């Protein structure tokens, strides 16, 4: 990622034409160094542009799109280019969606009703540091994930059952589903969760996922 002293080239990918055009206009208004160089209505169209050599610094991408959604597009893009900043736009801010976005490899996410100041901050942050996340997603840990040479295990001992719980917690399963898979009661799984939150000094399931990714307990898909 570049420090934002030069223009930042941006692609906007969203299947709603009116929203996409409005977002492009907004981007150009909030900072004259932001340059939207192309747009696409779904992930497949965007990846075709990449194949043609049109590579932006940052792509702002809707998560819910037909033909090829944001999750699929992010995974495919990461296979061919790890340097493009991916800022996901979503109407969903539940833990499952956030975990899927993190594991797919996005550099940041915003709710689609974001205000202009936060959009500007997010784009500057991705250009300057390589990531943008709110405190709820433990943004500083994302930087460590993208620089695995900084990761250490810190000597925290985890049992096989705790490791299994962490692995499942990093999936899309609900806690009830995790309990069924582990053949445990929901109350016992809640106990594992509380103990791990305390042991690893995290405050949410997303924080647990971030810890697991940081310390290579699970792999990015």
Express each pLDDT in 51-79 by its tens digit: 988 899 999 999 999 999 999 999 999 98
| Long-range pairs for 136-140: beta carbons < 8 A, 24 or more residues apart | 136/204, 136/206, 137/98, 137/102, 137/109, 137/206, 137/210, 138/202, 138/206, 138/207, 138/210
Rounded to 5, what percent of the chain is helix, strand, coil? 50, 15, 35
- Measure the CA–CA gap between 103 and 101, rounded to whole angstroms: 6
Express each pLDDT in 144-163 by its tens digit: 444 444 344 455 778 888 88
More confident residue, 154 or 217: 217
35 Cβ neighbours under 8 A, 6+ residues apart: 7, 8, 9, 10, 28
Decide: pTM greater than 0.85: no
Please provide the CATH number assigned to the domain covering 8-137: 3.40.50.2300
For the chain, what are the domain ranges?
A: 8-137, 160-214
CATH-assigned architecture of domain 160-214: Orthogonal Bundle (1.10)
> Is residue 12 classed as helix, strand or coil in its secondary structure?
strand
């Amino acid at each position: 990622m570049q420090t934002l002293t030069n223009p930042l080239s941006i692609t906007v990918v969203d299947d709603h034409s009116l929203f996409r055009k409005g977002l492009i206009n907004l981007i150009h208004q909030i900072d004259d160094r932001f340059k939207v160089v192309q747009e696409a209505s779904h992930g497949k169209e965007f990846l075709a542009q990449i194949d043609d050599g049109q590579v932006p610094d940052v792509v702002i991408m809707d998560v819910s799109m037909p033909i090829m959604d944001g999750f699929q597009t992010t995974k495919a893009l990461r296979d061919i280019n790890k340097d493009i900043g991916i800022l996901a736009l979503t109407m969903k801010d539940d833990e499952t969606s956030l975990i899927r976005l993190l594991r797919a490899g996005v550099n940041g996410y915003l709710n689609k009703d974001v205000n202009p100041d936060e959009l500007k901050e997010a784009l500057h942050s991705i250009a300057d540091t390589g990531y943008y996340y709110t405190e709820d997603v433990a943004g500083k840990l994302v930087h460590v994930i993208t620089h695995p040479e900084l990761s250490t295990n810190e000597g925290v001992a985890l049992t096989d059952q705790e490791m299994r719980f962490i692995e499942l917690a990093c999936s899309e399963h609900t806690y009830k589903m995790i309990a069924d898979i582990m053949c445990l009661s929901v109350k016992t799984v809640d106990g594992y969760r509380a103990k791990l939150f305390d042991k690893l000094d995290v405050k949410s399931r997303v924080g647990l996922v971030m810890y697991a990714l940081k310390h290579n307990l699970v792999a990015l898909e």
